[in-house]
Every structure is written in structure tokens, then in C-alpha cells.
Amino acid sequence: MYDMKALYEAESAADAVRLLQEHPQAQIIAGGSDVLVQMREGKRAGAELVSIYGLDELRGVTMEEDGTIRIGSLTSFSHITKDPIIQTYIGVLGEAVDMVGGPQIRNIGTIGGNTCNGVTSADSASTLFAWDALIELTGPGGVRLLPIKDFYIKAGKVALKPGEIQTAIRIPRESYEGYAGYYIKYAMRNAMDIATLGCSVNVKLSDDQSTFADLRIAYGVAGPVPMRAVHAEETGRGLEVTDENMEKIGDAVLQDVTPRDSWRASKAFREHISKVLCKRALREAVRRAGSRRQDPEKESGQEPGQTPKQKEAAGGTRGNSHEPRTAAYPHTVITDPGSGRQYKLVRCRINGAERETMVDVRASLTDLLRNDYSLNSVKKGCEVGECGACNVIIDGECYNSCIYLAVWADGKEIRTLEGLMGPGGELSDIQQAFIDETAVQCGFCTPGVIMSAVEILESGKEYTREELRKLLSGHLCRCTGYENILNAVEKTMKKRLAEKM
């Protein structure tokens, strides 16, 4: 159970604004990968929360008539990475958010939550700085737009006024047209780690590709908030595209960055890698710019002046790269007058069976699955979304159920390890492969790992071993049997693909 005072579920963006006005001490919860972890740590203990997780109106990526790319604040990292509009015009943003945490975190984490958290290490933030993004804020006074550089006030604090929520991130056409970029995250681990330093670079070359017409260089963890290296940018504008000049631009970032000493890295080390990462990112951005000459309207398949709705009606792809989420049942939170505790009737499908239960709003999905339905394959491990032992599949995607509120399960399709077995208790092919390849050791983390494998296998795609490693990176096995786990997943993947031929 989470230590929260109350939970209010918004029915729309306008309703969220109303709830914040009625409960001025309440805090917004989007995906919960930050808020619930902080609550578990005691930093937000006893808080009132306004949940906007169920608002599909705040999800998805669209292109507006003037070419502005609009990213709904509840769009998850994984859906940003896969979105065709993102891939066509600002692919570096998709690459950056694909470095956040592990796959389960990228499924639940939202770009709005990542930026509103106000931390300098957010992988999305420095990249959005490099795209000159605008933050769309909706509050009692209506909608206002704020340049992202003005949105960050100080470490952990952003410019949200009382009653406001972030509803979207906008990137104007002039901010991306003709630009190419690259993001480098320096961290101790390849997954499940925050950046020691992050550097995002965008360049626009002259028509003959010989000079820097413009460039933007942005950093995370180089100061208390994400920042632009304005002196380095000014140094580079108009210079010829040469290795010598890229060295010069990289050296100039020391006029802008202000890193600090911490247990993760010293100030001197961060200053050193700020130069190194800038030079490396510049070279790759230049390479990409040289191989790319885009016509935005032509490449997207969107006719000039065509709105997203007109495009969809004409049979074009939707701005959102995923199918709409299952509509939740319209059940409201009720309060027990005796205890003051809040409950919600949750109806969902678990392992193919319709389920209905009254849920305490403080409960996690792990609590619901274990305590109400005795699905003990769902393990309680770290309970902060790091180990993956509680991993389950929700509407086809993997989530750490320990940082997923049980009330959010309303209307969802949930699968656990128990749902893989046949009617007579027969093991599935992936379960048998884990046995055959000795991928099972103590067994504590195994159910969660297998559920990630199920999502991988059901995609029907063929992955390299390195790609499989990344797709399984949201799990920590203390027995260190990673190679055998990879063997089991790879073997099953190849077997299924062969059977389809």
C-alpha cells in the first residue's frame, strides 16, 4: 500500500484543473514512475494525488496545420520512440527517451512527467532544449505556451502555476526543419541508470553543407537545470564544417557548463566529458545532416495544410503510434465514512477471466494480483520499479506492477505467468526453454523475465542478440544468469520464426 491521503481521478484536462483548485495541496500523478517511487521513499508520504493517467486526450503525437509537432504530455517514452512523426522529423528525441530506465519504465513513464519533475538528468529535457520546445500549460486562465528554457526555474522546480497542468510539448516547424541531431548519454550502466552527463546537439548546414548555418547544444547534469551552451553555439555559427572547428566548438562549452561534484562524478570529470560528448555529438549530427535533405510534408505523407483529422479520415496513419487504450469503466472513487479510506470498483480481465473487485486506492497492482487473486508469480522485490520481479503484461505491454496503481487496471487486459500454462498445466515453449537452457536459478525473478520474453516473442519480429539484451534490460537477476536467459529467449524466437516459414 502507498502512503497517500487521497486519490482523485480526473475525467478530463479541465476536470484535473478543477480538482487542483478544489484541493490546492494535491499533486499531479501521470505515469507514477517518479511520484510513486518518491512516495515509497517517504518524500511524498501522505500526499493527495490527482491522477491524470486515464486521460487519453493527453496521449499521442500529431502534426498541426503550420507544421508544429504536438506531443501529448501523457505520451509514454516507448510510444514516442515508435511514432512515425517523431522518427521522420525529430528522431533524436525518440533515441533519447529510449535510453530512459528499462522497457517497463519506458512503457509507463511519460514525457510530461519527465519534464515536470524538474530534474537536470531527464533524458528528454536536454533534447527538448535542443529543439527549442514550447511547453503547453492548461490552467484556470486557459492555455499558455512557455519556452522550455523558462519552464525550468531551479533544481526540482518548474513554472507551473497553482491549478495548472502540462498538457503538451510543442516543437515549431522552424525549430526542426533542416536540422539533424544526436544525443549522447554518459552513464555507468547501459540501462536502468540516470545520466552522469547528457549532451544533445542539433545542426543546420548551409546549402552546400560546408558551414554551420545554425547549431544548438544542450546539456543535462551540466548545471542545476538542463541548459544550452549559448557561447559554444555562437562560436560555431558560420564556421566551416571541419574537425578543427568542431574541436573549437567543443572546447567553448566550458564557458557555459557549471557542473558540480557529486558521488556520481567530480566536477572536473563532467567538464572534461562535456567537451568530449559535444565533439562526438557534433560529428554524428553533421554526418546525419549531410545524408538528409527532407521535405517535411512529403516525407510524412501529410498534404500541405491537412489537419491530423483530415489525414486520418483520408486513410493516413494516426499521429499516435499505438492503438487507443481500452476505455476504462466509469466507476468513481468512493469514501468509507467510517475509516475515511477510499475505494474503487475495478473490472478487468486477468489471464482471460473477467474479474471484479473493490480496490483500496492506495494499493499497487502487485497488491491486487497477489492478495486478491493469489497470483504469486508476481513477486514483491524492490517495489520501486527497478528489479522487474513484478513485471506483468497490460494491454500487450510490459509494466512493473509495483509502480502501477491497482485502480488503473480498470478496463485493462492483464496477463501473468499463470496465464501461460495450458489447460492441463502444460508449460509454454518459453517456459520449457528456460528449463532446457538452465535459465532458472533461484527462480525469484524468473516469472517477470519470462513475461518480458512473451512480449518480445509475440511481436513476431527477429531480433539480434544485442537487441534482445536491451529488451530484457529492465530486469536484475541477482544470480547473474543473463547469458542463459538470452539463450532461452533467442532459441524460442528462432523456433517460432522457423515454424512460420
Mean pLDDT of 152-166: 96
Euclidean distance between CA atoms 212 and 214, whole angstroms: 5
- In tens, the pLDDT along 466-479 reads 999 999 999 998 88
Mean pLDDT of 402-421: 97
For the structural domain made of 4-51, what CATH number should be given?
A: 3.30.43.10
DSSP 345-404: EEEEEETTEEEEEEEETT-BHHHIIIIIT--TTS--SSSSSSS-TTEEEETTEEEEGGGS
Can you give the pLDDT at residue 291? 65
Can you give the pLDDT at residue 79? 97
Strands 4-9 and 27-29: unpaired
C-alpha cell at 413: 487486459
Instruction: Give me the residue spans of the domains in the chain.
Output: 4-51, 59-313, 334-500
Mean pLDDT of 189-213: 94
Can you give the pLDDT at residue 293? 44
Residue 489 parent element (H or E)? helix 482-500
pLDDT greater than 50 at residue 82 = yes
Q: Domain 59-313 maps to which CATH number in 3.30.465.10, 3.40.630.30, 3.10.310.10, 3.40.50.300?
A: 3.30.465.10
* Residue whose C-alpha is closest to residue 35's, from 58, 71, 61, 7: 7
Can you give the pLDDT at residue 292? 57
Confidence of residue 336 (pLDDT cuts 50, 70, 90): confident
> Helices (H), strands (E): how many in the chain?
20, 20
pLDDT greater than 50 at residue 262 = yes
pLDDT greater than 70 at residue 392 = yes
Mean pLDDT of 393-401: 98
Mean pLDDT of 55-72: 97
Global pTM value: 0.90
Q: How many CB atoms within 10 Å of residue 190? A: 11
Mean pLDDT of 127-136: 98
What integer best gives the mean pLDDT of the chain? 91
Confidence of residue 190 (pLDDT cuts 50, 70, 90): confident
Can you give the pLDDT at residue 394? 98
Can you give the pLDDT at residue 58? 98
Can you give the pLDDT at residue 308? 43
Can you give the pLDDT at residue 297? 46
What whole-number percentage of the chain has pLDDT above 90?
86
Mean pLDDT of 340-351: 94
Confidence of residue 307 (pLDDT cuts 50, 70, 90): very low
Mean pLDDT of 288-293: 74
Tell the burial category of 425 from Cβ atoms under 10 Å away from its Cβ (0-12, 13-18, 19+): exposed
- In tens, the pLDDT along 169-188 reads 999 999 999 999 999 999 98
Q: Report the top-level CATH class of 334-500.
A: alpha beta
When comparing pLDDT for 423 and 153, which is higher? 153
Mean pLDDT of 54-83: 97
